[in-house]
Chain A
Amino acid sequence: MLSVSRLNAFYGRAHILHDVSLEAASGEVLVLLGRNGAGKSTTMKSIIGIVRPGAGSSVTFAGAEMAGRPPHEIARAGLGYVPEERRIFTDLTVMENLEVGRQAPREGLAPWTPERLFAIFPNLGRMRDRPGGRMSGGEQQMLTIARTLMGNPRLILLDEPSEGLAPVIVEEMANAIRQLKQEGLAVVLSEQNLHFAARVADRAVIIEKGTVRWQGTLATLEDEPEVKAQYLSV
């Protein structure tokens, strides 16, 4: 479904990503692992087009080339993005936040409505008219995912969904991700928390210094302590 090949990215003069290649199939949960600053967030931002991929990079999604297109076109093609810092619209109510995310229904997928989302995130349903700024961190994290789902994506990019959340909320988050997988969505998430990754993901890609160092299933990763030690400092 998503195929990234030879992805390069730059911030000014700094070369951040070096020929990153990875693939995600529909219904799969893929996790990008790596240290802070390894390039996980930049990979996601380059896929969604917020960071412009360098020449020669290719990001194909559902058969179409995305590299070089503006973010809104990529999002409309069915790629949802949930940023690390949540970035909900604090002045807008829950319902208005969802409205911003709303896009046309997608063929072959049951369209998301606020009601369907509230079934997965019951907390949100109880605070429809509350401004985003008056929600707790965990509630905001749920809202940012729900908002992206309103665009009816086929694949959703989640940047560090467990960061800064209390252990109980992290469990809720893991459940939500598993539920999305059941809905048939592909999920690509970035994580530093291996425990969390192991609970939700099928496959892992390890990134370090902007380069892919290792790929494989999480079960295989369990048996490779050297890999974990070298790239994940576990």
Chain B
Amino acid sequence: MDFVLIQFLTGLSNASALFLIASGLTVIFGVTRIVNFAHGSFYMLGAYLAWTIVRAFWDWGGREPYLFVLGVLAAAVVVGLIGVAMEMTLLRRIYRAPELFQLLATFGVVLMIQDATLAIWGPEDLPLPRPPWLRAFIDIAGSRFPRYDLILAIIGPVVLALLWLLFHRTRFGILVRAATQDREMVAALGVDQKKLFSGVFFLGSALAGLGGALVLPSQSANLQMDLSIIAEAFVVVVVGGMGSVTGAFLASLLIAEVQAFGIVLLPKITLVLVFLVMAAVLMVRPYGLLGKPQAHARAASGAVEPTLRPAPNILGLAGLAALLIAASAPFWAGAYAITVLIELAVFVLFAASLHLMMGPGGVVSFGHAAYFGLGAYGAALGLRYLALPMEAGLVAAPLFAGFFGVVFGVFVVRLSGVYLAMLTLAFAQIVWAATFQWVDVTGGDNGILGVWPSAWAADKSVYLWLALALCIGGTLLLRRFVFSPFGYGLRAARDSELRAEAIGLDTARLRLAAFAIAAAAAGLAGGVYAYAKGSVFPTYISIPKSVDALLMVLLGGVQTVTGPIVGAIAYHGLFVGILQATAYWRAALGLAIVVLVLAFPQGIAGFARDRWERARGLEAA
């Protein structure tokens, strides 16, 4: 019984930190409709800043508790101001952009903050020295429980109460709730949106900073804090219901308790457990515990998907020329160039598979790397346990990924918008966690090595041709699907679900089919990649890999069928270029993402098409 109580209290104290972060995220999302990826970075900054500020205070006035409190609050305020700075310089320019662009822009900020933190504080973990009062224990039912954790457990409910008062008893709070529903209308009633948004960003970011500062004594400031917390925070926000602070509180309790007991009872699957809880909640309540179906964020004037026209002939010729140049590379280029070209072919298919869902399907997957990775692991596991040769492995890869595409897709296609994106991210994290934690089967962090091609394809040149045939062939097939009755049905379901169902289309099944096809195609790309590298690792499934795919599609332009191809080539070129050029490649990549989002909101191909159509006076939709 004691064990239950202690674990329960541990859960409560973890829930508080989680709630602080998630409530900030959910408030920001509610009002600005921005899913702020950089929220985890604010949490991390809170910890680092508290480490610096609290230590400075202690050096000056001794290790007094009140100076710790002051330092934590100061860290929160500074993080709040950083949040406001980001809102004013970056987000203010892209409030009208599609939500995915906003997400990517904030991911660019994640990368920049990572490198900035590394430059300022260095790569080492930074623990806060703990004076005796921070290390004190109290007796609970005969067990020793850290007093600090008990204090943390109380902070969550206190913050919840304060937020409730803020939102129901102050004019600022009422305006925030109104703006959560319809910010344009709030502006038309004389409320300055900019101030409101900055205020909300300050509040949300400061909450994240406070969370980071408060966990510092029990953890330590480190560079992995941002992405590890953001996935959990997303889960809490989605489980609680996007935009609902009370929901975030309940969800953080649920998740933290599941973790607290899971770590004792089912230590092998703790990472998976959290996401399983999320999937279970969303099955019963698709919009989270206290969420409501999102009134589809009021489309700012006239944002309509354009009609699709087959590519002009000249584009086809250019594509053919590019393909011929790539295929002839063995005769004029070196080994490194061939490696790059193989990767390029893989990423073209990877991006095209995501595009099928995002473009015609209108389904934004935030965890597409899962299927890439499943394809790679499908081939590798086939080799390890069934001794499958490469030929069979390349068949197994899309089947394995496609199978999971169906399994996950069944849940995913019931949702829409941000919920859907978050659920795909959650599934990707499950797959990642499984490959990472299930060491006996997957080799964990060490991956699976020795995944080499069959003898006939061992030569790099031959493998390039094989990769081109499979990946470019696959991409062309996906293109064909887009223009088929199936592809039109998919677009119909995206354009107007109401009308689609009213003419007998089973929209959920259409989306599921698209999801499975996209997963299988990504799996094929992953399989080809595995044999090219000779190994597979959990990083194939990581969040940055999923973001890679999104960037390729968006860079190219989601509204054109050619977009993902152009995007994959441009992105990979950028990546290879930056990676070789600078030590701070994350910051450089982050900056590039931000600039691209600001400069090419339609993507490269979308931009080119717009010019093309303008020049010819074609009627735009």
Contact = CB atoms under 8 A, between A and B. Distances in A.
Contacts of A50: 184, 187-188, 301
A101 B181 contact: no
Interface stretch (B189-197, B260-268, B326-334): B189-197
Interface stretch (A88-96, A116-124, A168-176, A184-192): A88-96
B190 A75 contact: yes
Nearest to A75: B190
Contacts of A83: 185, 188
Interface stretch (B152-160, B169-177, B570-578): B169-177
A171 to B, nearest CB: 27
A69 B364 CA distance: 35
A14 B302 contact: yes
A103 B189 CA distance: 8
B191 A100 contact: yes
A100 B188 contact: no
Nearest to A78: B190
B178 interface: yes
Given A11-B301, A92-B174, A99-B171, A72 B182 contact: no
A87 B185 contact: yes
A76 B190 contact: yes
Contacts of B614: 13
Given A11-B302, A83-B185, A87-B182, A100 B174 contact: yes
A99 B174 contact: yes
Contacts of A147: 189
A103 B188 contact: no
A151 B189 contact: yes
A51 interface: yes
Interface size class of B (residues with CB under 8 A): 20 to 34
A101 B175 CA distance: 9
A12 B185 contact: no
B620 interface: yes
B186 interface: yes
Most buried by A among B175, B186, B190, B191: B190
B334 to A, nearest CB: 47
Contacts of B181: 89-92
A70 interface: yes
Nearest to A71: B187
A48 B182 contact: no
Nearest to B187: A71
A101 B177 contact: no
B178 A100 contact: yes
B620 A12 contact: yes
A130 to B, nearest CB: 16
Contacts of A48: 188
Contacts of B301: 11, 45, 50-51
A61 interface: no
Interface in A61-107: 70-72, 75-76, 81, 83, 87, 89-92, 96-97, 99-101, 103
A58 interface: no
A212 to B, nearest CB: 22
B192 A72 contact: yes
Contacts of B174: 92, 96, 99-100
A72 B177 contact: no
A148 interface: yes
Nearest to A104: B190
Nearest to B195: A72
B189 A148 contact: yes
Nearest to A76: B190
B191 A72 contact: yes
B610 to A, nearest CB: 9
A150 B188 CA distance: 13
A155 B181 CA distance: 26
B188 A81 contact: yes
A186 to B, nearest CB: 17
Contacts of A92: 174, 177-178, 181
Contacts of A103: 189-190
A4 to B, nearest CB: 17
A107 to B, nearest CB: 16
Contact of B190 (A11, A14, A72, A97): A72
A99 B185 CA distance: 13
A100 B302 contact: no
Most buried by A among B186, B187, B188: B188
Interface string A185-229: 000000000000000000000000000000000000000000000
A70 B186 CA distance: 12
Nearest to A51: B301
Interface string A30-74: 000000000000000100101100000000000000000011100
Contacts of A100: 174-175, 178, 186, 189, 191
A50 B301 CA distance: 9
A12 B189 contact: no
B243 to A, nearest CB: 10
A103 to B, nearest CB: 5
A70 B620 contact: no
B83 to A, nearest CB: 22
Contacts of A96: 174, 177-178
Contacts of A97: 178
B187 A70 contact: yes
Contact of A13 (B171, B178, B193, B620): B620
B339 to A, nearest CB: 43
Contact of B182 (A81, A89, A99): A89
B171 A75 contact: no
B294 to A, nearest CB: 13
B142 to A, nearest CB: 47
Contacts of B620: 12-13
Nearest to B298: A87
Contacts of B190: 72, 75-76, 101, 103, 151
Most buried by B among A75, A90, A103, A151: A75
A103 B192 CA distance: 12
Contacts of B193: 70, 72
13 contacts: A13-B614, A50-B301, A51-B301, A70-B187, A70-B192, A89-B182, A90-B181, A91-B177, A92-B178, A92-B181, A96-B177, A99-B174, A100-B189
Interface of B: 171, 174-175, 177-178, 180-182, 184-193, 301-302, 614, 620
**List of 6 A-B pairs having minimum Cβ-Cβ separation, nearest first:** A75-B190, A11-B302, A71-B187, A100-B178, A87-B185, A76-B190
Given A45-B301, A92-B177, 9 more contacts: A70-B187, A71-B184, A81-B189, A87-B182, A92-B178, A92-B181, A100-B186, A101-B189, A147-B189
